[in-house]
Amino acid sequence: MTTPTHTTEAIEALFNEARKFPPPPEFAKHANAQPGIYEEAERDYERFWASWADKLEWMKPYETVLEWNEPFAKWFTGGTLNASVNALDRHVRAGRGTKIAFYYEGEPGDRWTITYSQLLDDVCRFANGLRKLGVKKGDRVAIYMPMIPELPVAMLACARVGAAHSVIFGGFSPDSIVDRVNDSHCVALITADQGWRRGNKVPLKANCDKAMESTPSVRHCIVAKRVGDAVEMQDGRDLWWSDVVAEQPATCEPEPMDAEDLLYLLYTSGTTAKPKGIKHTTAGYLVGVTATHNLVFDLKENDVYWCAADIGWVTGHSYIVYGPLCNGATSVIYEGTPDFPDKDRLWSIVERYKVSILYTAPTAIRTFMKWGAEYPKQHDMSSLRVLGSVGEPINPEAWMWYHEHIGGGRCPVVDTWWQTETGAIMIAPLPGITTLKPGSATKPFPAIQADIVNEQGESVPLGGGGYIVLKRPWPSMLRGIWGDDDRYVHTYWSRFQHMYLAGDGCKRDLEGDYWFMGRIDDVMNVSGHRISTTEVESALVDHPAVAEAAVVGRLDDVTGQAICAFVSIRSGFEGSKELGDELRRHVGEKLGKFTQPKYLTFTQELPKTRSGKIMRRLLRDIAEGRMLGDTTTLADSSIVAELQERAKAAAAAGKDE
Ligand code: WT7
């Protein structure tokens, strides 16, 4: 296994963590998940999932729970259903139409509430508009939007007419839009004029305009008005959202979808420069997100649930849109950043809507820690009863701070491990049953069979670490990579026989609790965003001044990892601060601002093996300021001393920023 992203001391520290938090008795008594659930799911895991499938509304019942033709799964075959019906119509018909689906809060402070019946009306109108534009079952539609109510409406409207959505996070650049849209030939692109971020305007439509110069499959661009400044609209191609829905009826016949029809694509970074279009299908995905959202967060009818993620990532797909809506939950959607206008914004939202379940990321929690406990203290947060964490390993210190300063010491903290590929939470506590340990995601969800294996694929006894694998199919699993079955098989199912390889390192303690240690491949995790080292390297070498680039992750107190780039430049160019800024800008333009290297070191040469392979492990050591291990395979050892000096200087400069 390659060097894990955490230092050995950090791993050992995790293992010395002895604090335990059994479920509060009152909580346990009323919890959705009661003891026995694990055993029951183990007795017949297909039946366990089927019991959740039976809670969905089917147009035609399914015939078979699982057809497993490893590594291709089909769940609930023979059945037809529609995701938007399960998210909306079902609840309205059951008399919950006036229940609030979303409390929406915009960054500038605008607020409104949307009930289930209003949301259904909006989805139907927009779905009718899409149909009128010729969008139909089997198409793909790209969505590049800020966190405004039109975003879930657009997703659900696609689902209603049977088109798969492909949401592209609003922080991505025009080039990234082009790659994703062209990979799956999207027929339409849905966006907004601009978005708000920390008081600044994000030029979403302008980015789409640039992208659409190179996306021949896009026939229409639909633009929701968010900010109100003038934007360019191309006749015939571009349409205002308000015109698309004008005069459309508030009812719309939902497309019957096969259980295995594509619900959406979501692109995620792998170890190459080309992102993978992860495929999620209809029934199994809904079953997975509904069950996990209900049981891991212990969702009750009167909860106010808030997942403070962006819908542009899988967390938002599963736990802002599909899971909560299928469970008929009331949720909060917040458009902006946590420090606008001040660092108590999140806590003022918790207080205003009496949020009872909060789901956020360790990087956010560490930021709040840095800002200080006085910000949450200004607000009444006694409504909170469950806290969740997702996106990266949570260090015990951050866990304890979250538990104490946000949860008032009374709320279970559920650390949830999963991935874009798994669709739903795989390893997490059930808060009424599980004894929590700060820093541990604890146990596999019922019916999930996980294991830790060594290089040979052998199960590692409790107390040891290795690769986390999943040994049995689950309903919300990815069905493959768009257009690339070989890559699917190769990436996830070829390293070990009959096991799904997630790509994370993990340890298990003597009680069988899982402690995640970060990625084992060339994928970085910066603020919970998955970024491929190769993607950033390609963006760097795309600049005329760059000869070669190597990118590694470096531990960061706040963002988990920070991007560290080593760049050798072509003759005729000088490694200056200006060039560094320009390269950062260039990466920002190629990929998106959030992928800009925090640390950038210029070098004559990159350290390579004699066969010419860049020695990333060595660069990681240099980036972390660690003692260097074995350097005997180096082609030219003089590079190392120089690099260490320069990296130290770059790190110092980065710290001062
Ligand atoms: C990778 C997946 C899951 C939604 C957000 C990210 C890391 C995620 C945890 C956790 C330790 C975690 C893993 C995983 N990760 N949650 N609770 N503890 N690591 O989705 O972009 O697909 O990234 O995020 O490394 O492989 P993603």
Instruction: For tokens 């959740």, name the residue.
Output: 52
Q: Which residue stretches of the chain have pLDDT < 50? A: 1-8, 656-657
Last residue of a domain, one of 508, 526, 557: 508
Q: What pLDDT, on a 0 to 100 scale, did the predictor assign at position 613?
A: 72
* Structure tokens given for 41: 């799911």
**Cα 502 to Cα 468: distance, rounded to the nearest angstrom:** 6
Answer yes or no: is 424 within a domain.
yes
**Cα 79 to Cα 92: distance, rounded to the nearest angstrom:** 22
Q: What pLDDT, on a 0 to 100 scale, did the predictor assign at position 621?
A: 87
Answer yes or no: is 528 within a domain.
no
Answer yes or no: is 497 within a domain.
yes
Q: What pLDDT, on a 0 to 100 scale, did the predictor assign at position 413?
A: 98
The closest-lying atom of ligand 1 relative to the alpha carbon of residue 425 is 3
Pick the residue whose CA is nearest to atom 7 on ligand 1: 392
**Cα 570 to Cα 544: distance, rounded to the nearest angstrom:** 8
Evaluate: CB of 525 within 6 angstroms of ligand 1.
yes
Last residue of a domain, one of 508, 532, 559: 508
> Could you tell me if 488 and 578 lie in one domain?
no
> Could you tell me if 597 and 496 lie in one domain?
no
> Could you tell me if 230 and 181 lie in one domain?
yes
For residue 60, the CA-to-ligand 1 centroid distance in Å is: 35
Answer yes or no: is 520 within a domain.
no
Q: What pLDDT, on a 0 to 100 scale, did the predictor assign at position 632?
A: 63
> Could you tell me if 344 and 480 lie in one domain?
yes
Answer yes or no: is 5 within a domain.
no
> Could you tell me if 585 and 446 lie in one domain?
no
Q: What pLDDT, on a 0 to 100 scale, did the predictor assign at position 628?
A: 64
> Could you tell me if 253 and 185 lie in one domain?
yes
* Structure tokens given for 391: 């996106």
> Could you tell me if 551 and 449 lie in one domain?
no
Q: What pLDDT, on a 0 to 100 scale, did the predictor assign at position 5?
A: 41
Which structural domain, as residue segments, surrounds residue 585?
543-653
**Cα 428 to Cα 444: distance, rounded to the nearest angstrom:** 6
Residue 566: which of 632, 630, 635, 621 has the closest Cα?
621
Substitution candidate for ligand 1 out of 392, 414, 522 with most atoms within 8 A of CB:
392
> Could you tell me if 561 and 502 lie in one domain?
no
Q: What pLDDT, on a 0 to 100 scale, did the predictor assign at position 8?
A: 47
Q: What pLDDT, on a 0 to 100 scale, did the predictor assign at position 630?
A: 62
Q: What pLDDT, on a 0 to 100 scale, did the predictor assign at position 538?
A: 85
Identify the three-state secondary structure at position 126.
Answer: helix
354: phi > 0 → left, psi -120 to 50 → alpha, else beta; which? left
> Could you tell me if 155 and 294 lie in one domain?
yes
Q: What pLDDT, on a 0 to 100 scale, did the predictor assign at position 322?
A: 99
Pick the residue whose CA is nearest to atom 21 on ligand 1: 530
CATH (domain of 613): 3.30.300.30
For residue 195, the CA-to-ligand 1 centroid distance in Å is: 26
> Could you tell me if 479 and 592 lie in one domain?
no
CATH (domain of 435): 3.40.50.12780
Evaluate: CB of 348 within 6 angstroms of ligand 1.
no
For residue 419, the CA-to-ligand 1 centroid distance in Å is: 5
Last residue of a domain, one of 493, 508, 523: 508
Domain count, the chain: 2
Answer yes or no: is 12 within a domain.
no
> Could you tell me if 82 and 196 lie in one domain?
yes
Residues in Cβ contact with 329 at an 8 Å cutoff, skipping those fewer than 6 apart: 293, 299, 303, 305
Q: What pLDDT, on a 0 to 100 scale, did the predictor assign at position 77?
A: 98
pTM for the predicted model, two decimal places: 0.90
For residue 390, the CA-to-ligand 1 centroid distance in Å is: 7
Residue 60: which of 74, 43, 77 has the closest Cα?
77
For residue 236, the CA-to-ligand 1 centroid distance in Å is: 41
> Could you tell me if 164 and 304 lie in one domain?
yes
- Read off the amino acid at residue 583: L
Answer yes or no: is 514 within a domain.
no
Answer yes or no: is 77 within a domain.
yes
